[in-house]
A and B are shown apart, each in its own frame.
Chain A
Amino acid sequence: GQNIDQPTEMTATEGAIVQINCTYQTSGFNGLFWYQQHAGEAPTFLSYNVLDGLEEKGRFSSFLSRSKGYSYLLLKELQMKDSASYLCAVRDPDSWGKLQFGAGTQVVVTP
């Protein structure tokens, strides 16, 4: 199995930066995903990391360290619409179609 841990909730001010950490424990590694989920809506894909390092995509960046079992999602220039739950997911190394999700981090952006 794979244990995936991320903080339950984070609060930040509009225009600020927030970093959401995700740690995982796996017997192997086959890729890590970040999804955004607004309340009552479907998750939407944000990023995918399979190699160590930083992937930047506009205001959002994702970092991976496989040796540390650690990833983070960085949200810059926060906007009110960024208030959502952010889900970290790890692909099962033995089953390509199976993602195991963390419980999600609720980000609250305040004016």
Chain B
Amino acid sequence: GAGVSQSPSNKVTEKGKDVELRCDPISGHTALYWYRQSLGQGLEFLIYFQGNSAPDKSGLPSDRFSAERTGGSVSTLTIQRTQQEDSAVYLCASSPGVHNEQFFGPGTRLTVL
């Protein structure tokens, strides 16, 4: 497909388990972004990548959250020892460069029981 894709679309996990969320950006986009959106809230910035480097990871809520990007393409957001407050929709976006508008994927809805 031509757009940003994310997997899984839905993830239900138990408190304390680790989860991995995947993002496939639009081909050729060098910048990649992670946000999360809680019910009725705006988007909360987590981290962004320029190539494989993360110039700004200031939005990661705690050291349980980490993200990596390999080959300048796919990115994985990992949440260790999940907590109920981690429940949210995790959105990924990409752009040709950081100066351009961001194109969003459909998100992964994470529910921590």
Contact = CB atoms under 8 A, between A and B. Distances in A.
Interface of A: 4, 33, 35, 41-45, 48, 87, 89, 92, 95-104
Given A41-B106, A100-B45, 9 more contacts: A44-B104, A95-B56, A97-B50, A97-B55, A97-B98, A98-B45, A99-B45, A101-B35, A104-B42
Which of B31, B35, B49, B99 has the most chain A CB within a 10 Å cutoff? B99
Report the contact-size class of chain B (Cβ under 8 Å from the partner): 20 to 34
Given A42-B91, A87-B42, A87-B43, A96 B98 contact: yes
- Prevailing SS type, chain A contact patch: strand
A36 to B, nearest CB: 11
Given A95-B55, A97-B48, A33 B107 contact: no
